[in-house]
Amino acid sequence: MERREFIKAGSAGLLHCSLLRTLGGETAVSAPGQPPQSLPRSEARYYRRLPDKKVECQLCPHQCRVANLERGTCGVRENREGEYQTLVYGNICSLNVDPIEKKPLFHYLPASRSLSVATAGCNFFCRFCQNWEISQKRPEQVRFTHLLPGDLVTMARQRECRTIAHTYTEPVVFTEYVLDCARTGKEKNIPSVMISNGFINEEPMRDLCRYLGAVKIDLKAFTEEFYEKYCSGSLQPVLDTLVLLKTLGVWLEIVVLIIPGLNDGPDEINRMTRWIHRELGPDVPLHFSRYYPTFMMKNIPPTSKKSLLEARKIAVDNGIRFVYVGNILTDYAHTYCPRCGELLIERYGYHTRITGLKSGACGKCGEEIPGRFQE
């Protein structure tokens, strides 16, 4: 086992032990090979019944048609005698307290903490997924603890977390839980944020946006070919989600993982950032993130600093005002006033210090800074 893998495995074990101590009870565990009926389950939303006990899932653009006793592409939603059921509602396989900047969300309650949770599963199959040990597993293959939305909100408050982040895997596949957590948390002033691939149909996204505080979308690339070949998905539904989020006024940030030779071409970055500026406006924070070899793409080297800075320059030249570079040490993790250049928020790793921001504006020139900032 390589050193990186050893550390990652050890961290995962420590996180699970922390989860056990936090919840103070027995953990429900399903091992590989257990029958699916042993999993806690509830009826899913967003599906329609078809003849012969079949169903059509209407949650995401896959629009899976699922026969009796079969599951959809995500592997976490199952047809039982014509009723579509979710196998992951409240079945938390990963839980941690993170800085909100780790999501990353830079203009949403900076320097605050977020209770971060995930269940198993994803509706993409990204060959470069950093969390594949849980995103590409079925519910029977991970350890989990069942946690109701109200309990999660209480835990966030006890841990002095300003938000609940649905992250690590793909929140779309546990939409029902995200929706109930977001609704419950909004009543208690603990908003939910969603860290997603954006591959979701309009109706469920609209329902979520009634309660979510913020959404971060991973824009994998700007070609259909990349989405089809490396993610088993498609680009256009993600672009539709981004436009919908902008239309509904939910705070939005975008991350692009720059992978050498696959999505880092200047022409592609130019087309992507011109589209973002035209359709979403100049103030959507855009993060270019460094790729590290993982999962099924370990043969590709880490992204060079030069490539990241070139992508940032293209975005800035195309009029995007807040462009960040992540997973590498640069000065472009800080937030500067786009008018006078004043340093507003310092970030070193996950250590964040608000310096020149006053009541959501630049303390020097008064320029209003887009975002949701705590006083």
Q: Tell me how many domains the chain contains.
A: 2
CA gap 243, 310 in Å, rounded: 26
> Does residue 36 lie within any of the structural domains?
no
Q: Domain for residue 12, yes or no? A: no
11 within some domain: no
Q: Are residues 182 and 307 in the same domain?
A: yes
Instruction: Specify whether 215 is located in the same domain as 349.
Output: no
Q: Based on the domain organization, do 315 and 203 belong to the same domain?
A: yes
Q: Which domain holds residue 161?
A: 91-334
Asked whether the CA dihedral 234, 236, 237, 241 is positive or negative, the reply is: positive
pLDDT by 10s per residue, the chain, length 375? 333 333 333 444 444 444 434 443 333 443 334 444 478 899 999 999 999 999 999 999 999 999 999 999 999 999 999 999 999 999 999 999 999 999 999 999 999 999 999 999 999 999 999 999 999 999 999 999 999 999 999 999 999 999 999 999 999 999 999 999 999 999 999 999 999 999 999 999 999 999 999 999 999 999 999 999 999 999 999 999 999 999 999 999 999 999 999 999 999 999 999 999 999 999 999 999 999 999 999 999 999 999 999 999 999 999 999 999 999 999 999 999 999 999 999 999 999 999 999 999 999 999 999 999 974
Give the pTM.
0.91
What are the C-alpha distances in Å from 91 to residues 148, 236, 275, 322? 9, 31, 38, 36
Do 212 and 356 fall within a single domain? Answer: no
**Residue 191 near residue 213, CB atoms below 8 Å:** yes
275, part of any domain: yes
